[in-house]
Amino acid sequence: MRLSTRTKYILYMIALHVLLMVLVYQLLFQSKPLFIATEVILLLSIGVSIQLYKDFSQPVAFIRSGIEAIKDKDFTIKFVPTGKGEVDTLIEVYNLMIDQLREERTRLQEQHFFLEKLIEASPIALLILDFDERLVQLNPRALHHFSDAVLGKKLEETDNHLLHQMSTMTDGESRTLKTDGVQTYKVQRSHLMHQGFRRSFFILEELTSELYKIEKAAYGKVIRMMAHEVNNTLGATDSILQTTLQSLPEPEFSDLSEALRIASGRNGRLTQFMRNFADVVRLPLPRREDVSLNRLVEQVSLFMRATALNQGSSIHTPEPNEPCTLYADTAQLEQVLVNVLKNAIEAGGTEIRVEIQKCELAILNNGKVITPEESTQLFNPFYSSKPQGQGIGLTLIREILVNHGFSFTLKTQADGWTAFRIQFSN
């Protein structure tokens, strides 16, 4: 067992003074005055030894108290000078160290508090990972996009498509990601050093509205230019065709007349084709009024039921439940429902279900599924997965719902049903 310095000092002083006592005892038989004087000196030596022990122990006690205070993270304890030079020097050093530690701790706490407030107030979503690549913190903006159910999980362990895409990113990488063909995000992954280890975090910025405005301005300009040139040409061409048809004698030029009628019909279809494009650009702002969602769904479903039956499908509408009243443009909302049901019918399934729950509408079909590649393109202008599609229907739907401020998604669920969901917020 290894002895401490204090124990060694005590044992040494005891052994020394025992030896002196034995020597002094020998003087008792030789000279009593010398014995008494030696006894006095021995007692003084014991007193000096005790005082020296106290003087040596005092700095150790100060150090021990200071260490305990530091362990307890209490940086408010300071020692008062004792008037002893060596001890006061030690106290001065300790007090200076405590002042610096307290100032540094206060500065770090202020920085941490400022950073937390900055993260909370940031208009950009921030997602912070721990050392094991698990989500440990989402700021309020991030919670707007993701639920707190993702906390404690790795990105690839969640059921969120956007987080799955983010899981493949590396530090320093920046990507533009799309979900359900509607929402567009700019995502950047970076890292910081914390306690000597790398911790990654994501900066997520939604670009949907900005890209939508730029995109609409771009395709609107193109459509207006196309409509102007095509309509001018088709109008003059069709006028010539009609005049020629009227002047051709029958039946000598019956074949030519039929060809001209076909050409005129083609001109008409092309005119309608351009008008469909122009309708997206000329779509007026919503003229809002109170609309019964239940009644509107019932009317549109009844209108589309015959079309569905002709395609071998059936439409099931919800049983009457708690009424839901919207503040929207009736005609535009009706156009949305017609287009969505039309797409559901053309998906080739056998059943279409319409569900209304707490003013949230879902139109589901068991037809053709939407592939991950198609899901990111769905609402892009002029994109269509149909061979004869123009890519107008979903663009018009998006235009109307965005103008109303309604959120929406279109995707194939895990059970194989494809769902178009609209969340009405008034």
Task: Please tell me whether residues 350 and 419 are part of one structural domain.
Answer: yes
Percent of the chain whose pLDDT exceeds 90? 8
pLDDT of residue 417: 92
Lowest mean pLDDT among 57-66, 94-103, 185-194, 417-426: 57-66
pLDDT at 190 over 60: yes
Strand pairing class (183-194; 197-206): antiparallel
Mean pLDDT of 218-241: 71
**Which residue range is the domain that position 268 belongs to?**
210-281
pLDDT of residue 228: 64
Q: Which residue has the higher pLDDT, 136 or 68?
A: 136
Mean pLDDT of 21-44: 72
Task: Please tell me whether residues 179 and 228 are part of one structural domain.
Answer: no
Indicate whether 80 belongs to any domain. no
pLDDT of residue 419: 92
Indicate whether 30 belongs to any domain. yes
Indicate whether 332 belongs to any domain. yes
Indicate whether 82 belongs to any domain. no
Domain count, the chain: 4
Task: Please tell me whether residues 202 and 131 are part of one structural domain.
Answer: yes
Task: Please tell me whether residues 275 and 337 are part of one structural domain.
Answer: no
pTM greater than 0.85 (yes/no): no
pLDDT of residue 362: 92
Indicate whether 113 belongs to any domain. no
Query: Exposed, middle or buried by CB within 10 Å (0-12, 13-18, 19+), for 385?
Result: middle
Task: Please tell me whether residues 162 and 181 are part of one structural domain.
Answer: yes
pLDDT of residue 28: 63
Indicate whether 86 belongs to any domain. no
Lowest mean pLDDT among 184-193, 230-239, 293-302, 392-401: 230-239
pLDDT at 75 over 80: no
Instruction: Provide the CATH number for the domain around residue 415.
Output: 3.30.565.10
* Maximal CA-CA distance, the chain: 169
Q: Which residue has the higher pLDDT, 217 or 133?
A: 133
Instruction: Provide the CATH number for the domain around residue 135.
Output: 3.30.450.20
pLDDT of residue 41: 78
Task: Please tell me whether residues 202 and 218 are part of one structural domain.
Answer: no
pLDDT at 327 over 80: yes
pLDDT of residue 418: 92
Task: Please tell me whether residues 358 and 375 are part of one structural domain.
Answer: yes
Task: Please tell me whether residues 294 and 250 are part of one structural domain.
Answer: no
The pLDDT-based confidence of 180 (bands split at 50, 70, 90) is: low
Average pLDDT, the chain: 79
pLDDT at 104 over 70: yes
pLDDT of residue 5: 66
Task: Please tell me whether residues 303 and 389 are part of one structural domain.
Answer: yes
Listed residues 251, 281, 311: the one ending a domain: 281
Task: Please tell me whether residues 384 and 293 are part of one structural domain.
Answer: yes
Listed residues 223, 256, 281: the one ending a domain: 281
The pLDDT-based confidence of 206 (bands split at 50, 70, 90) is: confident
Listed residues 206, 231, 251: the one ending a domain: 206
Q: Which residue has the higher pLDDT, 370 or 388?
A: 370
Task: Please tell me whether residues 182 and 169 are part of one structural domain.
Answer: yes
Indicate whether 108 belongs to any domain. no
Asked if residues 304 and 363 have their Cβ atoms less than 8 Å apart, the reply is no
pLDDT at 426 over 60: no
Indicate whether 376 belongs to any domain. yes
Task: Please tell me whether residues 404 and 298 are part of one structural domain.
Answer: yes
